[in-house]
Amino acid sequence: MSFHPRRALTQLRAEVNNQAAVLGFVGSPWTLATYLIEGGSTSLYKTIKTMCFTAPEVLDALLSKLADAMAAYIKYQIQAGAQCVQIFDSWGGQLPPREWDRCVSLRRGEEERYRAGCRGGKGTARGPEV
């Protein structure tokens, strides 16, 4: 059995009939990168933490690509009926503050990228806030 987010969100939005909010969700670029680089969940995050220092340009490029994909997926969910999309960052707390600022916090331009994907959400007067 396959899962189709658009169908699920559209159906849920119709079923709740504006009596409840329909929420979407995405993993943050850092969390997605962690799973990609580590190959799954880990307790040490050794590979990605090492990459912060040994290959920061590669990690930054990956995070940027993931941010682009995440923005598109947020837009997709809003268009399908989500009224709010939560960005989950499961693994950002594994970094010291300086690296968190560089790798996890919304980097310059990303916030606007997400906002652009969310303006004028389907079935809303102004669109959801991000």
Packing angle, helices 46-54 and 29-38, rounded to 10: 110
The mean per-residue pLDDT over the stretch 49-74 comes to 92
Residue 8 lies in a domain: no
Residue 129 lies in a domain: no
**Per the structure, how many domains does the chain have?**
1
pLDDT tens profile 14-53: 999 989 999 999 988 999 999 999 998 888 899 999 999 9
Other CB atoms within 10 Å distance of the CB of residue 21:
11
The model's pTM is 0.75
- Between residues 106 and 83, the one the model is more confident about: 83
pLDDT computed for residue 50 by the predictor? 93
Residue 106 lies in a domain: yes
Residue 44 lies in a domain: yes
pLDDT computed for residue 121 by the predictor? 39
Contact 33, 78 (CB under 8 A): no
pLDDT at 89 over 70: yes
- Structure tokens that stand for 25 in this block: 């969700």
Residue 50 lies in a domain: yes
Under the banding of pLDDT at 50, 70 and 90, the label for residue 130 is very low
Residue 13 lies in a domain: no
Under the banding of pLDDT at 50, 70 and 90, the label for residue 113 is low
Site of tokens 């929420």 = 23
Residue 34 lies in a domain: yes
Supply the range of the domain harboring residue 43. 20-118
The mean per-residue pLDDT over the stretch 101-119 comes to 61
Residue 15 lies in a domain: no
